[in-house]
Amino acid sequence: MSGKESEGEEESEKIRQLKREIEELKGENIRITKKLKRERKHTHKVCRDLEDANTELSKRNYEIDEAFSIVSKWIAMYDEFRRENTEVLDKFHDLQGHINDMERSVEEWENKANKECELRLEEEANYTAKIVQLEESLEEREQTLGYWKIRFSQLASLANGAIEDVPRMLREADVSLMFRPVPKEVESFVEYCKWLVGLMKEMVARNRN
């Protein structure tokens, strides 16, 4: 075999080797392309999943924001309620203080009223006792006055009788003394009786006027 033929065979072998490598590269390229397609599909799916997850996360974030807003509103409402409740409690304590003061005032007034009522009852009892005592005294005085009225009536009757009888008897005794001597003492007694009768007549006349 000549040298040219040997070189031609080597080149042919190289060409065949290159062709085999090209074919292998083509096959590898096909496998890689298929693999890339599969990976692209997977990547696309992963991207869609990520987008869906991102969308869901966005929704969750929105819901969280809404929930946080609601919670913030509730916190604000709670703070407002607590503030108003504090004000109400303060007003309630103030009102309770006023009520306690009023109750003490009412209790003091009741005690004062009870004392005044006791004093009035005591005064009424004393007044009633005095009235009873006065009535008893008046009754006793009326009885005494009635007694003395009877006595005075009897005495007046006696005096009237004496005023009517004694002057007549004195006149008769005076006439008798003119005709016989009498002791001076008897004459003085007769004069005294005249004076006494005259005095009684004057008293009766004054009482009648």
Does residue 22 form part of some domain?
no
Does residue 152 form part of some domain?
yes
Does residue 156 form part of some domain?
yes
* Token reading at 142: 């009326």
Does residue 25 form part of some domain?
no
Rounded distance between C-alpha atoms, residue 12 and residue 20, angstroms: 12
Per-residue pLDDT tens digits for 133-166: 888 888 888 888 788 777 767 666 766 666 666 6
Does residue 190 form part of some domain?
yes
* Token reading at 56: 């869901």
Torsion of CA 58, 64, 67, 72, to 10 degrees: -120
pTM for the full predicted model: 0.32
> What is the percentage of the chain residues whose pLDDT exceeds 90?
0
Best mean pLDDT range from 19-23, 66-70, 104-108, 168-172: 104-108
Does residue 199 form part of some domain?
yes
Rounded to a whole number of angstroms, the distance between the first and last alpha carbons of the chain is: 214
Rounded distance between C-alpha atoms, residue 147 and residue 135, angstroms: 18
CA distances for 67 relative to 61, 64, 206, angstroms: 9, 5, 124
Count of positions (residues) in the chain: 209
Does residue 51 form part of some domain?
no
Q: Who's near 186: CB < 8 A, 6+ residues apart?
A: 177
What pLDDT, on the 0 to 100 scale, is given for residue 91? Answer: 82
Q: Containing domain of residue 161, as a range?
A: 144-208
Q: How confident is the model at residue 8 (pLDDT cuts 50, 70, 90)?
A: low
User: In total, how many domains does the chain have?
Assistant: 1
Torsion of CA 134, 139, 141, 145, to 10 degrees: 150
Rounded distance between C-alpha atoms, residue 155 and residue 115, angstroms: 57
Does residue 187 form part of some domain?
yes
What pLDDT, on the 0 to 100 scale, is given for residue 209? Answer: 57
